[in-house]
Amino acid sequence: MKADTLYMLLFLVFKKALFFSLAIFYLLFSASPVVAGNERTVALIMKALSNPFFFKMKEGAREYAEEENIPLEIFGLERETDVEQQIGIFENLISRGYGAIVIAPADSKRLVPICKKALDKNIVVINIDNPLHRKSMDRFGIDIPFIGSDNRLGAQMIGKYVKNKLKGRGRVIVIEGIRGVENADLRKKGFIEAVTENSGIQIVGSESANWHTDEALSLSIRLLKKYKSIDAIFCANDKMALGVLQALDIMDLTGSILLAGYDNIESVRDEMRENRIQATVEQHPELMGAYGVELASRALNGQKVPSYKKTPLDLVTYESFNKTVALSISNLENPFFATLLKGSQDAAELFGMKLLVMDAKNKDAQQLTDIVNLINQRADVIIINPTNSESTTPGIEMANRENIPVVTVDRKSSSGKILCHIESDNIEGGRMAAKALAMHLKGEGKVIEIEGIPGTSAAHERGFGFNEELKRYPGIEVVSREVANFDRKEAQDVMRHLLQSNIQFDAVFAHNDNMILGALETVNEKKDPMPLVFIGFDAIREAVQEVKQGRLTATIAQKPDTMGRLSIEIVAGYFRGEKLPAVIPVELSLVTK
């Protein structure tokens, strides 16, 4: 009996110890993710990682997180219809105490309750790509920031393109995404609106293939057998367009039916090079991923985030693929023009163009020689960033005679036929600089103006706008105007000469950032640098950093990357046969601390 009693006592002690140990284990491990720092980690939950669209989204998020040193973990699904799997991932992240969750929802309605649960636990939630259902969010009393493109607008772009290609008449099939999913419904609606507006085009069939290639293959075969004489098929994503293309190949209809997708994945681009698929839409998933991580991090740091952040859309069509476009640029040593080139290169890659680049190194004769060489190479279009408004005109006129279209960017040409000119309003930029200068000087003071290359439209217009605006401030006097040809070293020399002459001044305005940085460096060489106002023009990276540090007062931002991108976009429109504007203005802004 004693042995049995002792055994029972030991068993009870062991049982209690085991229970206590398990309880401690549960508490430790259920709380460990939070203790380990998950409360500062951003989680990105996407749809099918096998879809190249979401691969680009993942890369954009990852690159931004690495640059900004933001802890990031990425999750995805096997198939885009696996809504329950996505909800399960979300539930797990909530239980592990993640600080922020960025979600590209597989379903616009069914993900709303789990988002509500995360918000109730003070977890930041950011919605990207596919918008959550507004009425469902209202019913749960939540509001979640959204990052993404306008799916209705993107589909309208495709619809207008198809309508123009069919000359307003024909029979069209629509292959939809998952019905009830916001972006699928918006794409269907936008396309049908645009393609049927003021046209004789008929939508003969519209059914869902749930975003999947295999379903689109079988569905399109059935629809093509059911409906005869089809002129075009629109697919709400590129994966389905590839399935439809397989069907067209099987039925020997490839080339006779216009085929359009949505997402601009690489396999579709390969087919566009061969004119087997005619159009798609780029909605920049890499930016959705990057912006999602950015806003999540800002919210984690207590900063206010916008309720909607828009990502751009681009219509990409087969007409621009394999075309050769040339860019003659004035001076790549200038960071402004290097940024302009980068914008052009990225856009040329997007639209499938081969880009030839010539650097004139700020020499008029070199640029003229470059233009002649590009004409001899039979470039389809030449984009010119002139070194001088007058000196480039013989080259432009020669291109006109050879029927090669010419686009100018940033600086104007004084003559010759120009397809389109892309520029900031340099006169307005000069006015903005003068207003900022006058405000800092409180309407009183002496100013040095450092000018760019004489004869360039940029130098003339910036100077004109600056001096016209200064007429409104009689207490401000320009005591010296010096030419430094947009060059940093020349601006240093000019400033050094002026300081040696003991000129009295309170502010410096230079026609570009290179020159203002040169002037600033020379003034700072003095043992007792004066507290002066320095204002530049261009907002190159180094100048913006100097503004943030308080050493440079301000700079005018004219977005050279946007200029470069627009110069290529307008060429893509030309290849599509679109009517183009004579001038495209690029918005300016004042950068201050």
pLDDT band at 22 (very low <50, low <70, confident <90, very high): very low
Q: Is the pLDDT of residue 271 over 60?
A: yes
pLDDT digits (tens, 9 = 90+) for 456-499: 888 999 999 999 999 999 999 999 999 999 999 999 999 999 99
For range 506-522, the mean pLDDT: 96
* 3-state DSSP percent of the chain in helix, strand and coil, to 5: 50, 20, 30
What pLDDT, on the 0 to 100 scale, is given for residue 15? 43
What pLDDT, on the 0 to 100 scale, is given for residue 295? 97
| Sign of torsion over alpha carbons 76, 79, 81, 83 | negative
CA distances from 220 to 196, 224, 432, 470 (A): 21, 6, 57, 67
For range 282-309, the mean pLDDT: 95
What pLDDT, on the 0 to 100 scale, is given for residue 36? 52
Q: Which residue has the higher pLDDT, 14 or 327?
A: 327
pLDDT digits (tens, 9 = 90+) for 92-121: 999 999 999 999 999 999 999 999 999 999
pLDDT digits (tens, 9 = 90+) for 73-94: 999 998 888 999 999 999 999 9
Phi, psi for 516 (deg, rounded to 5): -70, -35
pLDDT digits (tens, 9 = 90+) for 149-189: 999 999 999 999 999 999 999 999 999 999 988 889 999 99
CA distances from 423 to 416, 429, 465, 511 (A): 17, 11, 15, 15
pLDDT band at 12 (very low <50, low <70, confident <90, very high): very low
Provide the residue ranges of all domains of the chain, joining segments of one domain with +: 40-148+287-297, 151-282, 322-424+561-585, 426-560
pLDDT band at 417 (very low <50, low <70, confident <90, very high): very high
pLDDT digits (tens, 9 = 90+) for 370-400: 999 999 999 999 999 999 888 899 999 999 9
CATH entry 3.40.50.2300 includes domain 151-282: yes
pLDDT more than 90, % of the chain: 84
- Vertex 89 angle, CA 97 and 114, to 5°: 75
d(CA 123, CA 114): 11
Q: Which two tokens stand for residue 190?
A: 């936008």
d(CA 384, CA 393): 11
CA distances from 388 to 371, 391, 392, 487 (A): 13, 6, 7, 15
Domain at 426-560: CATH code? 3.40.50.2300
d(CA 442, CA 454): 30
Q: Which CATH architecture group holds 322-424+561-585?
A: 3-Layer(aba) Sandwich (3.40)
Element (H, E) at 466: helix 457-470
Q: HSE of 267 in the Cβ direction (CA atoms, 13 Å)?
A: 14
Across the chain, mean pLDDT equals 91
pLDDT band at 283 (very low <50, low <70, confident <90, very high): very high
The greatest distance separating any two alpha carbons of the chain, rounded to the nearest whole angstrom, comes to 117
Inter-residue contact 407 to 570 (CB < 8 Å): yes
Q: Is the pLDDT of residue 5 over 70?
A: no
For range 316-338, the mean pLDDT: 95
For range 334-348, the mean pLDDT: 94
CA distances from 174 to 203, 224, 281, 352, 570 (A): 7, 12, 16, 26, 29
Q: HSE of 107 in the Cβ direction (CA atoms, 13 Å)?
A: 17
What pLDDT, on the 0 to 100 scale, is given for residue 52? 86
Is 0.75 topped by the overall pTM? yes
d(CA 495, CA 475): 23
pLDDT digits (tens, 9 = 90+) for 540-570: 989 999 999 999 999 999 889 999 999 999 9
For range 341-345, the mean pLDDT: 97
What pLDDT, on the 0 to 100 scale, is given for residue 132? 93
For range 305-318, the mean pLDDT: 96
What pLDDT, on the 0 to 100 scale, is given for residue 35? 38
d(CA 63, CA 73): 12
pLDDT digits (tens, 9 = 90+) for 200-255: 999 999 999 999 999 999 999 999 999 989 999 999 999 999 999 999 999 999 99
Would 40-148+287-297 and 151-282 be classified into the same CATH topology?
Answer: yes
| Fold held by 40-148+287-297 | Rossmann fold (3.40.50)
